Amino acid sequence: MLGNKAIKAALMVTLVTLSGLLPLQASADCKFVSTKDGSPLAIKAVDSDTPEAKQFIATCINPYTKKFAENKELANAGKKKFGYWSCTQCHGGNAGGQTGPSITDATWQYSKHVTDKGMFETIAGGSNGGMPTWHNQPAGNPELLSTDEILKIIGWLRVEYKGGGDTPWLNDK
Ligand code: HEC
């Protein structure tokens, strides 16, 4: 039987092929785009990546979101990173907002933030509205965050969400 992922992957390939954006033989990896200008955001799997990071880069699905939703204790790993990288300075200790916007309410700076891929793109590559570039690859700075660290932060932010309504990020399988 075909798994959900296989069906999704097949659909993706069909859509991409139909839209003529890519040649057939292109890899099926997740295509990240910059929140600044919609240009491609070059983030690739590297040897040091965790299996979760590699899975995300291949599928656009953050495995931590479901894991942390099922066991909220695990989300502390993401909260620690949020503090360690001083995201708290602009967004507050629990991401409820300070000089930067709240990340736990239903108001999104960009509508794509209801997907983990979209939120990842803004954290990884920054925005024109004051969000710095955090991922070590687009920033060209190995001292900055890895894919895995950003994914853990996103998993924690989803646990902290208090906005009610739909939670589309939990629908990803
Ligand atoms: C210098 C202040 C500053 C720091 C530090 C900062 N941010 Fe931001 N962040 C912002 C601003 C300002 C925005 C709004 C950007 C826009 O509208 O273009 C934002 C937007 C966001 C959003 C989208 C929020 C929404 O409601 O749609 C996320 C997610 C986010 N930041 C995560 C992080 C994470 C994770 C870190 C730490 C790695 C971080 N930020 C560090 C200023 C900051």
What are the tens digits of pLDDT across the range 129-168? Answer: 999 999 999 999 999 999 999 999 999 999 999 999 999 9
Q: How confident is the model at residue 65 (pLDDT cuts 50, 70, 90)?
A: very high
Q: Are 73 and 113 contained in the same domain? A: yes
Find out whether the beta carbon of 129 lies less than 6 Å from any atom of ligand 1.
Answer: yes
Residues 150 and 163 in one domain: yes
* 86 close to ligand 1 (CB < 6 Angstrom): yes
* DSSP β-bridge partners for residue 145: 135
Does residue 68 sit in the same domain as residue 97?
A: yes
Length of the chain: 173
102/112 Cα distance (integer angstroms):
16
| Mean pLDDT computed over every residue of the chain | 90
pLDDT at 25 exceeding the cut of 60 = no
Whether 34 has a pLDDT exceeding 60, the answer reads yes
Q: Quick one: 5 and 77 in the same domain?
A: no
Distance 46 CA to ligand 1 centre (A): 25
Write phi, then psi, for 135 (nearest 5 degrees).
Answer: -75, 135
The domain in which residue 14 lies consists of 1-29
**pTM of the full predicted structure?**
0.87
Burial state string for 155-170 with b = 16 or more CB within 10 A and e = fewer than 16: bbbbbbbeeeeeeebe
Output the residue whose Cα is nearest ligand 1's atom 34: 87
Tell me: pLDDT of 22 over 50.
no
Predicted pLDDT at 163: 96
